[in-house]
Amino acid sequence: MEIVRYYNKNDNFAKKSAMDKKDIKFSKHLFWDVDVSELDMEKHKEFIVERVLDYGFMNDWLSIKDYYSIEKLAVIAQNVRNLMPKSLSFIATITNTQITDYRCYKLAQSNPPHWNF
């Protein structure tokens, strides 16, 4: 299932200019292992979305939802290598996409767990 994108270029530009990287304040526990000032919202978007989906609070989710659109979040999350099952279900439900479209789901299916005796 492909996501259909409807947007007005003027609205998208106004939204991007109003929401700058400096305006976003992530929770401190999300990026404890990296320098937050070095994070680029476009270059490291998969890393940021993965951390927010797996470990973020509601304010973190609202920040990335406002910076990226829901449609763009779906595309970004589909390329993420590892997501927790709850995070995968959440993003698939919010974006109205299939779980099978996500890279992390396909990788989990190709690596079955060991038997537990």
Query: pLDDT of 18-42, one tens digit each?
Result: 455 556 788 889 888 888 888 889 9
**Domain-located, residue 32:** no
Instruction: State the total domains in the chain.
Output: 1
**Domain-located, residue 56:** yes
Q: Cβ distance 83 to 73 under 8 Å?
A: no
**Rounded Cα distance, 16 and 33, in Å:** 28
Q: Which residue, 55, 3, 66, 12, is CA-closest to 32?
A: 55
pLDDT less than 70: residues of the chain: 1-23
Tokens 């999300």 found at: 30
**Domain-located, residue 59:** yes
**Domain-located, residue 45:** yes
pLDDT given at position 21: 59
**Domain-located, residue 63:** yes
pLDDT given at position 90: 94
Q: What is the domain range of residue 81?
A: 39-111
**Domain-located, residue 87:** yes
pLDDT given at position 1: 41
